[in-house]
Amino acid sequence: MIQCFIFDLDGVLVNTSIYHFRAWQKIALQLNIPFTEADNERLKGLSREDSLQTLLQVGGMSIGQEEAEALLNQKNRIYLDLIAQIDESAVLPGVRIVLSRLKQSACPLVLASSSKNAKFVIQKTGLEDFFNEVVDGHQISKPKPNPEIFLTAAFLAGVQAKNCLVFEDAAAGVKAAKSAGMRCIGIGEKEPLKEADFVFSDFTRFSPEILFELYRSV
């Protein structure tokens, strides 16, 4: 029985990926590392720290801890400047309808995002009131695909992991959900999300009413 719904943020509920890409692109340019949108796909679901390490791998570089911390802080400042004007228009199609219907189920809804700016984003986009709990990058030490973020979400909701359903758009997030013993619906393209139980291109293709049909034999 599904008793809790857990949502990733970027790429699932809101479209902020372009802002992350532009921020990382500025850091890459500073480091003389070619960085394309295809490279940016490798950062999906990763923490800021792991994203920087992936960027450095793309450029075949290594740097010290002090320089890394400075770059991470710089990236966050750039990102915050870019999303300062974010509003409800950033919410992806179908999201509000799905959240509204799931909220009526009386099951807790939890936001679980590696982003340390998750609370700011849901406040600015008008999604804050849908969620009973929020787990963000400030509350976890192990990034996806480690299941810590989802296990923390289940704990805060007071629900066993096996009774949670996660919505994710990144392979690392799907792995984290399955490692936590949770069910998972992928939002996006099927191939990278093939480990999810089911995959929908976006929330306009998904309806809460089909959950029983999807999971009655799982």
Q: Classify 212 as helix, strand or coil.
A: helix
Instruction: Provide φ and ψ at 112, rounded to 5°.
Output: -130, 100
pLDDT tens digits, the chain, 218 residues: what are they? 899 999 999 999 999 888 889 999 999 999 999 999 888 888 877 788 889 999 999 899 999 999 999 999 999 999 999 989 899 999 999 999 999 999 999 899 999 998 888 999 999 999 999 999 999 999 999 989 999 999 999 999 999 999 999 999 999 999 999 999 999 999 999 999 999 999 999 999 999 988 878 876 54
122-131: b (≥16 Cβ within 10 Å) or e: bebbebeebb
Q: Quick one: residue 61, left, alpha or beta (phi over 0 = left, psi -120 to 50 = alpha)?
A: beta
> What are the structural domains, with CATH classification, of the chain?
4-15+87-215 (3.40.50.1000), 17-82 (1.10.150.240)
Amino acid 149: pLDDT:
97
**Residue 104 to residue 193: CA distance in whole angstroms:** 28
**Residue 21 to residue 53: CA distance in whole angstroms:** 15
10 given a catalytic annotation: yes
Amino acid 65: pLDDT:
95
Contact call for residues 185 and 202 (beta carbons, < 8 A): no
The encoded tokens of residue 36 equal 């394309």
87 given a catalytic annotation: no
Amino acid 77: pLDDT:
94
Write out the H or E segment, with its range, that includes residue 50: helix 48-58
Out of 10, 136, 169, 197, which one is annotated catalytic? 10
Indicate the angle between helix axes 171-179 and 148-157, nearest 10 degrees. 60
Amino acid 133: pLDDT:
98
Amino acid 135: pLDDT:
97
Amino acid 148: pLDDT:
98
164-178: b (≥16 Cβ within 10 Å) or e: bbbbbbbbbbbbbbb
